């Protein structure tokens, strides 16, 4: 825990290391690891290191503006929390503490239907602070339809602005740490947003037969007009185009479930360029209010990672592990510190790269390192 007025952590890596000292080893492995050999888990982070930022100089960057709009509301910078299960494993205040920090920072928050605090309490934590930051509730395309209907009704009543539908989990990936350690929920924790028992929650039945054509029209019929539908777990341009063919879909998130599903799937940053190109092509013929939004999660640990994702065409970046590490480090104050670091890093990156607004960040802001040889880079605008 932080023990002085000067916070001893200066990067997300510092927060992750501090969390490791506070978490039970079993739950640390559950949080940090993923499927099989962790190839995709590791690639999610390392993929960003293959690109360099190309600064432009002598530009007016005395005041940069990192703000944007997501889920129909203004946010302080293009970053939000991905829906991630069981924040109470890291701290007793769990998702409520995460919500307070998100509200104070003015960012978007996605809440997992596997949260260990009720969706009403999580949203109320923001309202108690007088905040207007947007919230999304997550469910899965493999979840029983009656569960989805009940969740949507509750979330809509509580003021959630979006439904984030996980579409890459028709079954659970082979997570070896869970086989070795087991995954019995600690006594006293439950899932207040699902009608499942904490004692046998892994036995929940999933519908692996769900398809675009049978699921999305039905989903559109049960989600109110003031809730946006986003699909989370897109990897390819083909599926971006398929998703966009259903006008109810407002956004897609390039995500591989934090490397917890298919090991060997591409890092999300590797999959982003093709998906972004598809979104640009689709949006060329759409009115501004109908444009498809593009998000990404997986491996974002620095403000420069956010910058690189925005340069490739993402509208918003998300992270799921970061707030849980921060909770384990120092509760709500830890999450606030994590957000402070990421926002400061991103704003500094914008300034040093010569970008005053998000619109100034583009492909010409990046270069690709080729062949692993130092100095051999190619500007993306030249490729």
Which residue positions form the known binding site? 30, 83-85, 112, 166, 175, 232, 255, 257, 260, 297-301, 320-321
Three-point CA angle 330, 336, 189, nearest 5° = 55
Burial of 236 (0-12, 13-18, 19+ CB in 10 A): middle
Residue 262: both structure tokens together: 């298919």
Alpha-carbon distance 325 to 153, whole Å?
A: 31
Q: 91 an active-site residue?
A: no
**CB-side exposure of 382: number of CA atoms within 13 Å?**
7
Binding-site residues for glyoxylate: 30, 175, 257, 260
Least Cα distance to 235 among 214, 256, 251, 221 occurs for 256
Residue pointed to by tokens 């919500």: 99
Q: Which residues are annotated as a binding site for FMN?
A: 83-85, 112, 166, 232, 255, 297-301, 320-321
Write down the catalytic residue from 87, 91, 113, 257: 257
Q: How many CB atoms lie within 10 A of CB 213?
A: 11
The phi-psi region of residue 262 (left if phi > 0; otherwise alpha if psi is between -120 and 50; otherwise beta) is: beta
State the catalytic residues.
257
């Amino acid at each position: 825990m932080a023990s002085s007025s000067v916070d001893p952590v200066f990067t997300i890596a510092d927060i992750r290391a501090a969390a490791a000292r506070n978490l039970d080893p079993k739950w640390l492995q559950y949080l940090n690891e993923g499927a099989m050999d962790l190839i995709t888990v590791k690639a999610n982070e390392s993929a960003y290191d293959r690109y360099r930022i190309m600064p432009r100089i002598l530009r007016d960057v005395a005041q940069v503006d990192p703000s944007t709009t997501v889920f129909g509301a203004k946010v302080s910078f293009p970053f939000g929390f991905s829906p991630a299960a069981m924040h109470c494993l890291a701290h007793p205040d769990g998702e409520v503490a995460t919500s307070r920090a998100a509200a104070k920072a003015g960012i978007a928050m996605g809440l997992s239907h596997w949260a260990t605090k009720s969706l009403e309490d999580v949203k109320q934590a923001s309202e108690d602070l007088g905040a207007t930051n947007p919230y999304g509730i997550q469910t899965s395309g493999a979840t029983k339809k009656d569960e989805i209907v009940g969740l949507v009704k509750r979330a809509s009543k509580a003021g959630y602005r979006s439904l984030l539908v996980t579409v890459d989990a028709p079954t659970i990936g082979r997570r070896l740490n869970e086989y070795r350690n087991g995954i019995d929920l600690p006594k006293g924790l439950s899932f207040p947003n699902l009608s499942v028992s904490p004692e046998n929650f892994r036995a929940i039945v999933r519908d692996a037969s769900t398809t675009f054509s049978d699921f999305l029209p039905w989903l559109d019929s049960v989600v109110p007009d003031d809730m946006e539908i986003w699909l989370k777990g897109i990897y390819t341009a083909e599926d971006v185009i398929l998703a966009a063919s259903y006008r109810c879909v407002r956004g897609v998130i390039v995500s591989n479930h934090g490397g917890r599903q298919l090991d060997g799937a591409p890092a999300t940053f590797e999959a982003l360029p093709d998906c972004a190109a598809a979104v640009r092509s689709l949006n060329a013929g759409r009115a501004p209010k109908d444009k498809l939004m593009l998000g990404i999660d997986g491996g974002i640990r620095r403000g420069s990672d956010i910058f690189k994702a925005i340069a490739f065409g993402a509208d918003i970046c998300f992270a799921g592990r970061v707030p849980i590490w921060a909770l384990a480090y120092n509760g709500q104050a830890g999450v606030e510190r994590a957000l402070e670091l990421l926002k400061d890093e991103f704003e500094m990156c914008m300034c040093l790269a010569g970008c005053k607004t998000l619109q100034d960040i583009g492909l010409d802001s990046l270069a690709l390192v080729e062949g692993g040889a130092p100095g051999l880079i190619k500007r993306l605008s030249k490729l």
